[in-house]
Amino acid sequence: MEQQKPFTMGNLHWAHWLIVALSLLMTIAVWQYSKIQIQEKNENRFHREAEQVITLIIERLQKYEDALWSGVATIKSHEDTINFSQWQSFSSALHLPEKYKGINGIGVIFNVPDTALPDYLRRQQQDRPDYRIHPAHQNVYRFPITYIEPMADNLNAVGLDVAHESNRLKAALKARDSGQAQITAPIYLVQSEERTPGFLFYVPFYNSTNDSDSELIYEDGDLAIKKRQQQFAGMVYAPFIVYKLMQGTLEKARRHVGITISDDGFLLYDENHKNDKRYEKGPQFQQAFPLEVYGRSWLITIRSSSAFRNETSNNQPTFILVCGIIIDAMLFFLFIILSNANRRATKLANYMTEGYQAKSLELERNIERLKESNTELEQFAFAASHDLQEPLRTLTSFTELLKDELGSNPDKPHVIASIKYISEAAERMQCLVLGLMSYSRIGREPELMSVDCNDLLDDVLSDLSVVIKENNVKIVRATLPVILAFPTELRMLFLNLISNAIKFKNRETTPCITISSKEEDDHWLFSITDNGIGIDPKQFEHVFLIFKRLHSQDDYPGSGIGLSKCKKVVALHGGKIWVSSKINEGSTFFFTLAKSPKK
């Protein structure tokens, strides 16, 4: 006999390579799918947070506008005039620091023509002797800031004529002519020593005449504009420094995105720079929002920050990939072990066949060796399957330990989900190993006995009583014979076939299983019929192959070994097994058992 060559991976059957390759491809596909799902989830979260930022900015400006119109209403309630103490009372009632965070103050600007200037200054200097209008300018308009509260923070603004500077003046005239709230282009507030960008927010009011205020505000056309210009009395206004507005509107601690605001190319506010501790050079997501706000066009750019990346980080795809590769490797080495054992048995059988004609005595010895080799092969498969359980138990124990360790930490749901995937994969692998052990045990120490198939069927149905009741299965049974058989293996045969009939039920009909038998010349013919989902006739030759599955694990869980065990049990009894079926029309499994099976 020639010297045995060492085993190489090339000795694996192409089907083994195909199974490993498909398993690896499925692992990669699930890994990629998980990455895409998480990316889409994070993108949706970013868009929700970005839209929430825009909504909060708009709502906050509308709230400030309402406060300014309430100032107009207060002036109208005092018959178009209001003094310094009355405005202080109104401002105090607003509770600006608590209810209007980000606002620098609220004040009144009067329209003071040249003819009314002396009387205006006399009235203001009665309460405030130091009051004056500044700075001097050549414009024909005079719009001095008369009152501003809180005064302590806005002393430099008292008496400031907003007509002295073009951005302030353009927005004021636009508010006057439109009757609507307006904001200025970017300016630097005189009361701010930091020289950071800000703007003024105006709402106009008019002298009372026969026309109602609503007509002055909402009428269209040149005549309406002319009326507003003639009756323009002044404006209630609020000064804003943009970074204070953003602090009051959108505190950084409550969001995970960075904001940049520009007005016609002028940078009003910017968090997206390297000096910001949450800045991320290559953001995951970025979106620009053009926004029309009270006569100005703002461009708000929102980018995900490092806080967003930290909050949305998820290691689930990595866990899936690592666990899938581990399982694929275990499957690969299992195939190597089985293929090596099968190769040795095949080589021995070929050697015996070659020497059959010349050495009949040697042939008998070789037959004996083959029996011993097959016995060793079965023992080897059993031992290999048994030994594979130890790393699986270790993997399961450690995942349970990790689950217990993380059980009190609800902030890592993605880690807990990944541990669940590892546990489920280990359970499926353990199911395959246990199925392989069960397969290898069939016929190891058989003992022929007289078996009443009716009693045996009663025991099987009793074991399946819970699942039969849960699925509302109808059992129709004929009287079965008393036969000579191996009871443990025969019970396994009935249990597998009836369990499959229940598992692959048709969800649109009530499950029904019929069990019958027929005596023939030298054997018994049994049949188990169901009204389940059926089997494609093209798959008849494949269903009895070990590890062969016709459905996904998610749809119908299992090891793919059950029908292989049935075939081995029937062969042990000197019989055959086959199936007749059509898709969605149920299946009938036939098997024969010899009346005098050989040990």
pLDDT tens across 79-133, in order? 888 998 999 999 999 988 888 887 889 999 999 999 999 999 999 999 899 999 9
For residues 108 and 237, what is the distance between their CA atoms, to the nearest angstrom?
Answer: 6
Longest CA span, the chain: 140
pLDDT for the residue 365:
62
For residues 242 and 249, what is the distance between their CA atoms, to the nearest angstrom?
Answer: 10
Given a cut of 80, is residue 384 above it in pLDDT? no
Among the listed residues 482, 471, 566, 572, the one whose alpha carbon sits nearest the alpha carbon of residue 519: 482
N-to-C CA span, the chain? 31
Tell which wins on pLDDT, 406 or 598: 598
Tell which wins on pLDDT, 278 or 510: 510
Give the count of beta carbons closer than 10 Å to the beta carbon of residue 8: 9
Tell which wins on pLDDT, 494 or 318: 494
Q: Is 532 exposed, middle or buried (0-12, 13-18, 19+ CB in 10 A)?
A: buried
Edge to edge, the sheet with strand 286-293 lists 266-270, 257-263, 296-304, 286-293
Lookup: tokens for 561? 């070994």
Average pLDDT of every residue of the chain: 81
The torsion angles phi and psi of 132, rounded to 5 degrees, stand at: -150, 160
pLDDT for the residue 455:
94
For residues 316 and 27, what is the distance between their CA atoms, to the nearest angstrom?
Answer: 13
pLDDT for the residue 378:
57
For residues 155 and 163, what is the distance between their CA atoms, to the nearest angstrom?
Answer: 18
284 pLDDT band, cuts 50/70/90, is: confident
Tell which wins on pLDDT, 480 or 153: 480
Lookup: tokens for 46? 């970013």
Pairing of β 512-519 and β 474-477 = parallel
- Output the CA angle 283-289-291, nearest 5 degrees: 150
208 neighbors 80 (Cβ within 8 angstroms): yes
Lookup: tokens for 225? 């504009």
Give the count of beta carbons closer than 10 Å to the beta carbon of residue 564: 21
Collapsed DSSP state (helix, strand, coil) of residue 269: strand
Tell which wins on pLDDT, 411 or 242: 242
For residue range 513-558, what is the model confidence (pLDDT) as tens digits?
A: 999 999 998 899 999 999 998 888 887 777 887 766 665 565 666 5
Q: CB within 8 A of 45, min separation 6: which ones?
A: 312
Mean pLDDT of 557-582: 84
Pairing of β 232-241 and β 577-581 = unpaired
Mean pLDDT of 15-25: 75
Of the candidate ranges 143-152, 275-284, 338-347, 469-478, the one whose mean pLDDT is the lowest: 338-347
pLDDT for the residue 527:
95
**Residue 524 CA: distances (Å) to CA of 550, 565, 595:** 29, 19, 7
Among the listed residues 350, 352, 345, the one whose alpha carbon sits nearest the alpha carbon of residue 374: 345
202 neighbors 106 (Cβ within 8 angstroms): no
479 pLDDT band, cuts 50/70/90, is: very high
Given a cut of 70, is residue 424 above it in pLDDT? no
The residues facing 65 across adjacent strands are none
Between the ranges 217-226, 268-277, 482-491, where is the mean pLDDT highest? 482-491
Given a cut of 70, is residue 2 above it in pLDDT? no
Evaluate if pTM is beyond 0.75: no
pLDDT for the residue 536:
83
Mean pLDDT of 442-457: 80
For residue range 388-405, what is the model confidence (pLDDT) as tens digits?
A: 555 656 666 656 666 666
- Output the CA angle 498-503-509, nearest 5 degrees: 100
| Identity at 433, one-letter amino acid code | V
Tell which wins on pLDDT, 531 or 278: 531
pLDDT for the residue 116:
92
pLDDT for the residue 14:
72
Given a cut of 80, is residue 207 above it in pLDDT? yes
pLDDT for the residue 427:
57
440 pLDDT band, cuts 50/70/90, is: low
pLDDT for the residue 332:
72
419 pLDDT band, cuts 50/70/90, is: low
Beta-strand ranges (E) seen in 229-386 are 232-241, 257-263, 266-270, 286-293, 296-304
For residues 555 and 392, what is the distance between their CA atoms, to the nearest angstrom?
Answer: 24
Q: CB within 8 A of 562, min separation 6: which ones?
A: 435, 496, 499, 500
Mean pLDDT of 433-450: 62
Given a cut of 70, is residue 507 above it in pLDDT? yes
Collapsed DSSP state (helix, strand, coil) of residue 119: helix
Cis check for the bond before 597: say yes or no (omega within 30 of 0).
no
pLDDT for the residue 1:
42
DSSP state at residue 480: P
Give the count of beta carbons closer than 10 Å to the beta carbon of residue 113: 10
Radius of gyration of the chain (CA): 44
The residues facing 485 across adjacent strands are 449
DSSP state at residue 538: G
Among the listed residues 263, 228, 269, the one whose alpha carbon sits nearest the alpha carbon of residue 250: 269
The residues facing 590 across adjacent strands are 527, 578
Instruction: Tell me which residue has tokens 């005449």.
Output: 209
